[in-house]
Amino acid sequence: MGDGAGTSVPIVVERDLAGVLDRLDVGVFALDRQERIVWANAASLALLSRSAREVVGRGLQALLHPDVRQLPSPRTHGTGVGAPLAPPGDRTLLARGDGSPLPVRWFSLPLRPDVECGVRLRAFAADEVAAKGLSAGQSESTRVLAERDRLALLADTTAQLIDNIDVDESLRRVVQLMLPRLADWAVIDLITETDEVNRSLVVHAHAGGLTMREDLQGPMPPVPAFSPMPLSKALRGVASTLAGPRTYDVPPDSAVAVEQRKLFAATGIETAAIAPVKGPSEVLGAITLGRTAGDEPFTTADLGLLEDIGRRIGLALENARHYQRQRQVAATMQRYLLPQLPRLDGVEMTARYLPAPDASHVGGDWYDAFALPDGDTALVIGDVAGHDLEAAAGMAQLRNMLRAYTWAQDDPPHRTVERLDRAMGHITDVSMATLVLARLTTDPAGHRVLRWTNAGHPPPLLLDSTGGARFLREGRGILLGASAGRPQPEAHVDLLPGSTLLFYTDGLIESRRQPLDAGLKRLGEAAADLNPQQLDDFVDLLLVRARPADNDDDVALLAIRIPETR
């Protein structure tokens, strides 16, 4: 083993490896099963200003600075070779030979255990970057991040914001990354799409964790046009600024300044860094980080990191607002395209449409019902492949074509769907779709008969007067756009008095965690149980009980009931 460590234990650390580790610029310890240091490289001794005799043979806990209570045991993070003593990059303070603190960050170095002596080795690297920062006059309380920490924080922030349109949840996660890492308080003020300012989030980091201070959240006054005060400038996107209680200990120039004075008084913030939250095309708010007494004050060097975080939040917010607008347009378009249901003698009918919670899944599902020239009634449920406005537009094209074909030609449902399939690829933007087209007729004896064809859609559900349920799996063919001109089958069933017939889209049954059969079973059982309810109550309760919690698709539902004769 290298002489720099002042010991000779080649059985613990092979000589070649010891030579390599002795040339590293970071400190390395090898620990036995009792977490005693059995070897230390030259850099670790230099950083600690200790000799090998002062280090080797001691437990690692004995080298901790008095300000540190305990270092996590490696057994809490795994027992395999190379498992870290603490999560990668965890910080602590070691004590130098003169008693001064040495900030370190731990990283595991996988070493092969020596089977012959039975020693399990753990290697840890002390962070020399942090040590150099301390020697330059920075203390651990400054919370100044090394460059790699800064990049890691920005990467974590981006990961929390990307592809997430739940703005409130994203902001909470970002705040959890910043507190208490950077500050004791985080405040986020957002400008709404109507140019109102709302204090959306105020969070305090303390020994017990994070607390959201809802009493300090809420509407804010309008942004003053020319105020030089820090928050006003940030909300206008002008500049990032440092602030403190004295900043606002002057006659207020606006109502925003009054609110800021109240904030500093309520939180005890002594030093704050404030930066704009900017999207690519607009200012969306401001972010404030605050530190209380006992912490090193923020400096202008801290503003760059906060500005980077503000830009990432702004990009996410602008994307989220774009998706919300898109969703509103798609949902509005969907509502206008969905029809008013016809009134039928001796038949109850109701329908529902629930837009997807995610804007990217709105637009493809629809239902339809309309009277035909011969007195029959057409019933339709369908789902266009694709999402958002494209799917909503494709649905409109397909729905209108199907209406025209069904009205103009007195054909059975399967012939109409075959014609629609042949034309779809030529005169619409729809590549694939599923649907059920049914025709409700009345025979000479006054009985209701349903004839239908199913182009790859989930089967309708039929309930009898006693609540018995069965799926109408007959008449099922290939989905539109994939049938290659093959004929569509057709089926029929008598609808007896007391029958309830349910058409629905896959958003009611599909789950990412369960097979489709489980969703169908859940729907059948819930429908049978709810069948005694009035039809409108029946569908409302069914949507609650049958729809999977993890399904983020939209749902269309059409139900008819043949009342029992009295």
CATH of the domain at 274: 3.30.450.40
Residue 523 CB partners (closer than 8 Å, separation 6+): 461, 504, 508, 509, 542, 546
372: in domain: yes
Same domain (yes/no): 310, 203: yes
**What is the identity of the amino acid at 475?**
G
Residues 226 and 281 in one domain: yes
User: Are 285 and 349 part of one and the same domain?
Assistant: no
| Strand boundaries in 258-408, DSSP class E | 269-278, 283-292, 348-354, 365-371, 377-384
Does 176 fall in a domain? yes
Confirm whether 230 is domain-assigned. yes
Domain limit, last residue, from 298, 325, 352: 325
Q: Are 69 and 207 in contact (CB under 8 A)?
A: no
* CATH number of the domain residue 517 falls in: 3.60.40.10
Q: Are residues 348 and 316 in the same domain?
A: no
Instruction: Tell me: do 378 and 476 sit in the same domain.
Output: yes
Residues in the chain: 566
Which token pair is 511? 């789950």
Residues 410 and 511 both lie in one domain: yes
Inside any domain, residue 377? yes
Q: Which domain holds residue 482?
A: 338-561
Please identify, among 87, 114, 138, the residue that sits at the C-terminal boundary of a domain. 138
Query: Where among 108, 138, 168 does a domain terminate?
Result: 138
| CB burial string 353-368: b at 16+ within 10 A, e below | bbbbebbbbbbbbbbb
Count CB-CB contacts under 10 A for residue 421.
22
Taking only the tens of pLDDT, the chain with its 566 residues reads 444 444 444 344 556 566 666 666 667 777 777 778 888 888 788 878 888 888 888 887 888 877 665 554 443 333 333 333 333 445 677 888 877 777 776 655 554 444 444 444 554 554 444 444 444 444 333 445 555 566 667 777 777 776 566 778 888 888 888 888 889 999 999 998 888 999 999 999 988 889 999 999 999 999 988 899 999 999 999 889 999 999 988 899 999 999 999 999 999 999 999 999 998 888 999 999 999 987 788 888 889 889 988 888 888 888 777 777 766 766 666 666 677 899 888 899 999 988 776 555 556 888 999 999 999 999 999 998 876 667 777 888 899 999 999 999 889 999 999 999 999 888 888 889 999 999 999 988 888 999 999 999 999 999 998 889 999 999 999 999 886 678 899 999 999 999 999 999 998 998 878 888 999 999 999 999 999 999 999 999 999 999 887 777 789 999 999 998 76
Look at residue 439 and tell me if it is in a domain.
yes
Cβ–Cβ under 8 Å, residues 566 and 500: no
Task: Answer whether residue 566 is part of any domain.
Answer: no
Asked if residue 9 belongs to a domain, the reply is: yes
Task: Identify whether residues 288 and 251 lie together within a single domain.
Answer: yes
Q: At residue 19, what are phi and psi to the nearest 5 degrees? A: -65, -40
Is residue 103 domain-shared with residue 157, that is, in the same domain?
A: no
How many domains does the chain fold into? 3
Pair 376, 292 in one domain: no
The answer to whether the bond into 66 is cis (omega within 30° of 0) is no
399 and 255 both lie in a single domain: no
Give the type of residue at 316. A
* Dihedral Cα 176, 182, 187, 190, nearest 10 deg: -80
Phi then psi for residue 351, to 5 deg, are -150, 160
User: Based on the domain organization, do 364 and 311 belong to the same domain?
Assistant: no
> Residue 287's beta-bridge partner residues?
188, 275
